[in-house]
Structure 1
Amino acid sequence: MAAIICGSLAFDTIMTFEGRFAEQILPDQLHILNVSFLVPALRRDFGGCAGNIAYSLKLLGGNPLPMATVGSDGADYLARLKTLGIDAQYVRQVDDTYTAQAMIMTDRDNNQITAFHPGAMMQAHITRIEPRADVKLGIISPDGRDAMLQHAQQFKAAGIPFVFDPGQGLPMFDGPELANFIDQATWVTVNDYEGKMLSDRTGWSSAEISKRVQGLVVTLGGEGCEVWIGGEKTIVPPVKAASIVDPTGCGDAWRGALLHGLEQGWSLAKCAELGNRVGATKIASRGPQNYTL
């Protein structure tokens, strides 16, 4: 069975700042913020939520179908997917624009500052989701605004259960739009910051959201996860990483593991458990698509 993964394909430029952001930013001078960070280490990786989730799910033996767009510079990414054995039938190449680009800077405490150019991602809505007998589930991860709205509707119309994981795309939507996403979704996953924003905008607590779907997961970074089902909360403990090398892509590694568990019919808590293990494995490696399980 296959899983449709809606989200971005992006080239990540990853930089390492050897200090702490907090030591460079003066809180009382934020109105005239003008800072520069020396980044001795820099590399370029294949990234984007759809690409990273597909990588994780493929490592676990799944059949990911990323649904995304690349620009005129996307030939290398298409070749990358082919090398990984990932089916790119839903990846569309758009001329006259660049593939999405993320510029990510990480400090010594693993805090990150990211600048993101969406490029071809803004046309992701041109590819539609249609019913398919071999597609068992899907996920809405951060993507173009129109794509997220339309793909959620299309998943629902096609009868395909899906995870709503808006990630950094959550601020694009108001309360009624987010409520509509939740009512269409089968599961919802957010981190603790996003979870607070989701509750603020919808007016629903985590317990209330969990009663509208089959389950809600709130990830807590190094503290593990909250799994909410029917208004009841279970804490899934964290897995300690062997070493902390690079947090980039950990959330996507977790998402891929979640999809694998859901495909197997596992409980949501067991899915989150696997996500924590895979995320801990990823954080001990460099790059969102350079680890093995």
Structure 2
Amino acid sequence: MRTLICGSMAYDTIMVFGDRFKNHILPEQIHILNVAFLVPEMRREFGGCAGNIAYNLKLLGGEPLIMATVGDDSAPYLYRLKQQGMDVSHVREVPGSFTAQAFITTDLDDNQITAFHPGAMNHSHENKVADAAGVGLGILAPDGRDGMLSHAREFHAAGVPFIFDPGQGLPMFDGAELLEFLKLADYCTVNDYEAKLVCERTGCDLPELATHVRALIVTLGGNGSRIYADGQRIDIPSVKPDAVIDPTGCGDAYRAGLLYGIGHDLGWEKTGRLASVMGAIKIAHRGGQNHKPGRDEIAARYEAAFGATPW
């Protein structure tokens, strides 16, 4: 099944400062803050929610179709996607812009200072869901505000079931807009903090929010996840990772598992467990797209955790 993934593509530039920010930022002088950090360690990762989700869905054997906007600097990313056998026909290049990118500086206490430039992401509304033929499932991941609103309505108008995944884009929307998303979507996935924020903004509790969609999925980090579907709550256990290296992109890996399970009618318990396995595999690697398990390895990890095969 071809799965349309609407969301961001981005570069993540990650720098490590070999000291602690607190040793260089004077609290009494923050009104005239002017500091520089030497960062001898730096790496650049391919990221963005759409890129990460598509990467993981491809590992599972799915057919991801990315719909995103990128800038003049997108050639390395597009080359990588093509090398992986991805269809990039709906990745729109916006002349005169940069691909969205985050610049993250981390200190020895794992504190982070991040600057994010949306760039071409602000043009995401120029893409149209109806232009993607043969799509049976979709996901609306964090993207430009106008693009998220228009793509939700276009998914619904086209009759394509989709997951609403607001992620870090959630603060852009008020309660009425969030309820509109839920009424248009077939599924919704949020982490526990985002779930609290959605409840606060809409004035609804989780069981009530779940009535608007076929399933509401709430991830709980190392405590697993919960799926509210068919009037029931299904508790999904976490899977022990080989190592805890980098949580970046774990949520996107989890969402790829959801998409594969939904697209292949695996049922909610098996779908949630497959998503949990994908998150556990990802967290043992740096960056959102550097883990490389094949389907056989994913199946073996699932069987080791749950005593059965995923498909």
Work out the CA distance in 2 between the residues paired with 1:27 and 1:221: 33
Higher radius of gyration, 1 or 2: 2
Amino acid at match of 1:88: V
Instruction: Sort the Cα spacing of 1:133 and 1:90 in 2 relative to 1 into closer, same or farther, 3 A.
Output: closer
Question: Which residue does the alignment assign to 1:289?
Answer: 289
- Cα distance in 1, alignment partners of residues 212 and 290 from structure 2: 37
Q: Secondary structure at the match of 2:209?
A: helix
Shift of 1:40: 4.4
What letter matches 2:244 in structure 1? I
The aligned runs of 1:1-293 (5 Å cut-off) are 1-16=1-16, 39-106=39-106, 113-130=113-130, 134-293=134-293
In percent, how many aligned pairs have the same letter? Answer: 56
AA aligned to 1:200 is: E
Shift of 1:125: 0.7
Root-mean-square deviation (CA), in Å? 2.5
- Separation in 1 of the partners of 2:31 and 2:216? 38
SS in 1 for 2:235: strand
1:114: how far off? 3.4
Output the CA distance in 2 between the equivalents of 1:217 and 1:114: 28
The unaligned stretches of length 5 or more in structure 1 are none
Aligned residues of 1:225 and 1:236 also touching (Cα < 8 A): yes
Q: Is the 8 A contact 2:90 2:132 kept in 1?
A: no
2: CA distance, partners of 1:55 / 1:240:
22
Deviation at 1:22, TM superposition (A): 8.7
For 2:251 and 2:175, locate their aligned partners in 1 and report how far apart those are by CA, in whole Å. Answer: 24
Q: Counterpart of 2:265 in 1: which secondary structure?
A: coil
Partner of 2:297: none
User: 1:83 corresponds to which letter in structure 2?
Assistant: Q
Higher mean alpha-carbon deviation, 20-29 vs 37-46, is at 20-29
Corresponding residue SS for 2:130: coil
One-letter amino acid matched to 1:185: A
Q: Taking structure 1 as the reference length, what is the TM-score of the superposition? A: 0.91
Q: Secondary structure at the match of 1:240?
A: coil
Deviations 1:39-93 (A, max 9, x none): 4431001111111110000011011000001111111111111011110011011
Shift of residue 103, structure 1, vs aligned partner: 1.8
| AA aligned opposite 1:65 | L
Contact 1:131 1:158 in 2 (8 A): no
Count, aligned residues: 293
- Counterparts of 2:273 and 2:15 in 1: how far apart (Å)? 30
**In 1, Cα distance between the equivalents of 2:265 and 2:272?**
13
Question: Which whole-Å CA distance do the structure 2 matches of 1:154 and 1:170 have between them?
Answer: 19
Once residues 23 and 197 of structure 1 are traced to their aligned partners in structure 2, the CA distance between those partners, rounded to angstroms, is: 34
- Alpha-carbon spacing, 1:252–1:82, altered in 2? closer, same or farther (3 Å): same
